[in-house]
Amino acid sequence: MGEILSTTQLIIRNFIMTVAQVLELAIIVRCIMSWFQPNPYHPLVRKIYELTDPLLRPFQGIFHFGGLDLSPVLALLAIGFVQSLLLRFV
């Protein structure tokens, strides 16, 4: 079999990539929403905040450049790093 991945490995790899993509998309959507100040009580807005707050909170306050919060960029980099790390072990 050699280089051929088993079905289980493919499922795990696809799951890891899908979770990472969903988290990345949620962070990007949150960044775009911040430009428009949506209603924070809207159910979709609340779900985006609930999903992204735990990802962004560790990075908030680390780098600020004149009011520009770089925590989404750091979170995206961290997600990419963790994704590549996990995929190496599968």
For 20-52, write each residue's pLDDT tens digit. 999 999 999 999 999 998 999 999 999 999 999
Neighbour tally for 1: CB within 10 Å: 5
Instruction: List the domain range (segments joined by +) for residue 33.
Output: 19-89
Instruction: Give the burial string for 50-67 (b: 16+ CB within 10 Å, else e).
Output: ebbeebbeebeeeeeeee
Percent of the chain with pLDDT over 70: 94
Contact 89, 12 (CB under 8 A): no
Say what the pTM is. 0.87
Task: Kindly state whether residue 59 falls inside one of the protein's structural domains.
Answer: yes
Task: Kindly state whether residue 61 falls inside one of the protein's structural domains.
Answer: yes
- Alpha carbon of 70 to those of 4, 17, 66, 75, 86: distances in Å? 40, 23, 11, 9, 24
Task: Kindly state whether residue 4 falls inside one of the protein's structural domains.
Answer: no
